[in-house]
Amino acid sequence: MFSETTNSMAEESDEILSRLRGISSDEKSEMGKMKCRIDDQARLIMMLKKRNDEYILANMSLDKHSIQLEQQIEELNEQLEEQQTNKDKIEELTLTIEQLKSLNIQWELKEQQTNQRFLFQNQQYQKVQQDILDFKQQINNLQQLLKYFLPFFYS
């Protein structure tokens, strides 16, 4: 079997060689042109394959970059949401501070009114105390006078 294959290959080779020997110069130049075209086409195919490989690599790089950009967008969106939440909290705290300021002003006004009322009451109390002291002094004076004049009435 091996010998049959070898014989058949040898016969084909001989046939190809005999055909090549029998080719005229016109046919040889035509064959050369075809060979050049085949070589050009092979180079073109290799160039296109190289471009395709470069295109694939560039697309892979762009995909990688696109994924990175999408991740950055997600991170920035998260930061934006966090900043919005912080802004909302600040606005809420600002409103609370304003409410507390208003309540503090109201409390201070009430405190002033209370202080004025206590001051007025304190002044009235001091006046009453002074009046009482004055009355006591008058009573003492009258008692002294009575002590002085009482012996004259009983004598």
What per-residue confidence (pLDDT) applies to 3?
A: 57
Question: What are the C-alpha distances in Å from 142 to residues 67, 130, 137, 153?
Answer: 109, 18, 8, 15
Quote the percentage of the chain above a pLDDT of 90. Answer: 61
Residues 31 and 23: beta-carbon distance below 8 Å: yes
Q: What is the pLDDT of residue 61?
A: 95
Write out pLDDT tens, residues 19-47. 555 655 665 677 777 887 888 888 888 98
Residues with Cβ < 8 Å from 23, sequence gap 6 or more?
A: 31
Summarize pLDDT for 63-117 with one digit per residue, the tens.
999 999 999 999 999 999 999 999 999 999 999 999 999 999 999 999 999 999 9
Q: What is the pTM of this model?
A: 0.45
Residue 152 has pLDDT above 60, yes or no: yes
Helix, strand and coil in the chain, % to nearest 5 = 95, 0, 5
pLDDT given for residue 39 in this prediction: 83
